[in-house]
Structure 1
Amino acid sequence: MRALLLSCLLAALPATGSAEEPISAAEFEAYATGKTLSYAVGGQVYGAEQYLPGRRVLWAFKGEECNYGRWYEEDGKVCFVYEHDATPQCWTFYRGAEGLRARFGDDPEGTELSEVAQSKAPLICAGPDVGV
């Protein structure tokens, strides 16, 4: 009886990150296109990306210059390549109540980004020779 009760209680708990299903590239595209999303790692802002029509993007690490790129789907992941680095950066995206989460590569312990803000405004880019 206790085992049955414990089983029922565990089944009623919300799913954790490991039980979530990844979203498809089409779902990612529908969610992100036309928005600028800011991401954090461990609660610290990491960078922001503007998702443009035609699967084009504009990415900037916090406080750094922007880089244009594009994204495509490969093996169920969303992969990005940028003008400054053509090495694909592939992520698995999940959508939760707080927005998107993204896990880098196939490593379950890999970098995980969390969406912390979104806007319809364009990404503001730092440039060379900005500041003092």
Structure 2
Amino acid sequence: MFKAICRTLPLLALLAVPAVPPAAAQEAMTGAGFDSYTRGKTLFYGLAGEIYGAERYLEGQRVVWSFLDGHCKAGRWYERGRQICFVYDDQPEPQCWSFRRSAGGLSARYENDAAAPELYEAENTGRDMVCTGPDVGV
């Protein structure tokens, strides 16, 4: 069910990598901390050992998400409590996550579905985020 949700919700899913156990992880990041960590970067994510997609973090809390299929979705994020919520031009329903930073990078919990697995930032994917066509959105 989570895979079906993530296919329709264009946001993070992260590559499983050795992670710090939840008890050792930091508190959920604030919006300021999340912005500081992500702004100007393109982070690649996967799920269960598979590369899943990438998100480019731009100035002004703008983002561009792609499943690495050449199609990209423009959106923005905002802080709500200790959650980071994303809305996209084609999907205005908020997708809220709690992010934690550890030695392995970001970990995220999808807050819209309590059964969703914890996800992790991927590193050294060897992939590029390419946006083609009229929906580039930056």
TM-score normalized with structure 2 length: 0.71
Q: Which runs of 4+ in 1 moved over 6 A?
A: none
- Work out whether 1:90 is the aligned partner of 2:96: yes
| Aligned equivalent of 2:66, options 54, 60, 67 | 60
* Identical-pair percentage: 45
Q: What's the Cα RMSD here?
A: 2.4
- Work out whether 1:24 is the aligned partner of 2:16: no
Structure 1 residue 45: deviation in Å?
A: 1.1
Q: For structure 2, list consecutive stretches of 5 or more residues without a partner in the other structure.
A: 1-19
Post-superposition CA distance 1:80-122 (Å, at most 9, x none)? 000110010000001111111111016553143211137xxx8
What's the secondary structure of 1:63's corresponding residue? coil
Structure 1 residue 64: deviation in Å?
A: 4.8
Structure 1 residue 16: deviation in Å?
A: 1.8
Q: Is the contact between residue 23 and residue 94 of structure 1 (CA under 8 Å) also seen in structure 2?
A: yes
What's the secondary structure of 1:28's corresponding residue? helix
Q: For structure 1, list consecutive stretches of 5 or more residues without a partner in the other structure.
A: 1-14
Structure 2 counterpart of 1:112? 118
Q: How many pairs were matched up?
A: 112
What's the secondary structure of 2:32's corresponding residue? helix
TM-score normalized with structure 1 length: 0.74
Higher relative contact order (CA 8 A, sep 6+): 2
Q: Is the contact between residue 58 and residue 123 of structure 1 (CA under 8 Å) also seen in structure 2?
A: no
Q: Is the contact between residue 71 and residue 78 of structure 1 (CA under 8 Å) also seen in structure 2?
A: yes
Q: Is the contact between residue 39 and residue 59 of structure 2 (CA under 8 Å) also seen in structure 1?
A: yes
Higher strand share: 1
Aligned residue identity for 2:21: T
